[in-house]
Amino acid sequence: MQASTRKGMIVVALANGLLLFGYGLSLPFFTIYLISQRHLSPAMAGLVIALAGLSRCVSSAISGELADAFGRKKVMMWGLFSQILAMFCLGLCIEFQAQVGWMLVCYFLTTFLGAFFRPASNAWVTDNTTPKERVEAFGILRIGLNIGWALGPAAGGFLVRYSYSLAFFFTALLYAATILYLGRLIEDKHVPCKSRKPSFVSALLSLKDSRLAKICFYVVLITAVNSQLVVGLSIHCKQYLHMPENYIGWFFTINGLVVVFLQYWATKIMARIRLSTAMLIGCLLYAVGFGSVGFFDTFALIAVGVFLAGVGELIVSPGEQTLVSNIASRETRGRYLGMLMVFYNLGSALGFFGAGLLGDYVAPFYLPGPWLIVGAVAVLAGLGFWSMRRSLTPEEDGKTNVPVPIKKDTITLN
């Protein structure tokens, strides 16, 4: 990757890191706030979070459409600005103890608008890289995201000890700083198609591209596996192994540190092999890492499983984004990457729901059972990605340094 290109990727990675740092300051603690301060039941609070998460599926698709029609930078800036307003209003609702209904409206708006940045950002990365550079580029983004995620919740935990609303105000302030930072340092190379009109229906029709549909299906599977780190592992360690919360928190830290310190080297290795092969390897690492958790009862051994799953994540995440970028035409990059995020969010929601079911109905009878099922799903996803080598050109599969030919959209643009 050329120095100028790498500099641009670092700029966008830092912006993503700032946003996730801001997210980590406040939103992970909203569930605790609803239960402890507004006295919602855990089930009701969980339903609120799940529904808000599903709303991101819709906004991800809309973001991709708008990014193609109006430009990547405009959508990123507009999404951030509108989210700042919603986040500030949410902070005011918390500060002045507004009715729960109004507060939840602001929360849903914050969550919905929060999904606008990522698809447009990914499309910008695709516009500014060659197919061979994209694995490394998306890997750099992953490093920025995980630095933000590693630091945000720690700082947020300190802030909410004094004021929940203060955490949300600081998040809005960080988002405003990101607008100023990003607006001055990046340029949009994308030339919007004047005849193109944003259409959610057309975005769904993009799944007529069987290759995109297959990738999205496999992404649902492996994202459901990845989400076990948050819910499934917490249930397993707390309810069945009776580990203290600080031990469980260290598992998240291990996962974040794996990505921060190993992502760059992993992308260098991935650049030498086919993407489909790399995705198979990543999914198998998920399978071994999470599949072994159920057989362990000590912190150290479970940490090894989390480490292996983390290595799988740093291969799979940039790999799936690169695959979708490579099969999209110039006119549909935002749309395709938006649809990828739709199914990514869907996979997370299914994974959270499935973790609860497995913890309640499988683990009491056979403790390793949930993790063996998770491992099997990871293997299926890996085999699915690997099978796609037959439908990808060598360039799309990352086999050579020859640029992917510019493709005309095979799906309607209107």
pLDDT at 134: 85
Instruction: Band the pLDDT of 33: cuts 50, 70, 90.
Output: confident
Q: 198 near 65, Cβ under 8 Å? A: yes
pLDDT at 245: 64
C-alpha distances in angstroms, 95 versus 3, 104, 167, 297? 46, 14, 11, 43
d(CA 50, CA 131): 35
Phi/psi of residue 397, nearest 5 degrees: -90, 5
Higher pLDDT: 351 or 371? It is 371
- Helical residues (DSSP H) of 3-133, grouped into ranges: 3-26, 30-36, 42-70, 72-95, 100-114, 117-127
Burial 280-306 (b: 16+ CB within 10 A, else e): bbbbbbbbbbbbbbbebeeeeebbbbb
pLDDT at 42: 61
Higher pLDDT: 294 or 268? It is 294
Q: What is the pLDDT of residues 303-355, one digit of tens each?
A: 999 999 999 998 998 899 899 999 988 778 888 888 898 899 889 888 877 88
pLDDT at 36: 76
Indicate whether 410 pLDDT > 50.
no
Higher pLDDT: 346 or 1? It is 346
Indicate whether 87 pLDDT > 60.
yes
Mean pLDDT of all residues in the chain?
84
pLDDT at 404: 45
Higher pLDDT: 69 or 85? It is 85
Instruction: Band the pLDDT of 194: cuts 50, 70, 90.
Output: low
Indicate whether 196 pLDDT > 80.
no
pLDDT at 414: 34
Domains of the chain: 1-183 (1.20.1250.20), 203-400 (1.20.1250.20)
How would DSSP label each residue in 360-400? HHTTTT-TTHHHHHHHHHHHHHHHHHHHGGGTS-TTTTT-S
Indicate whether 403 pLDDT > 60.
no
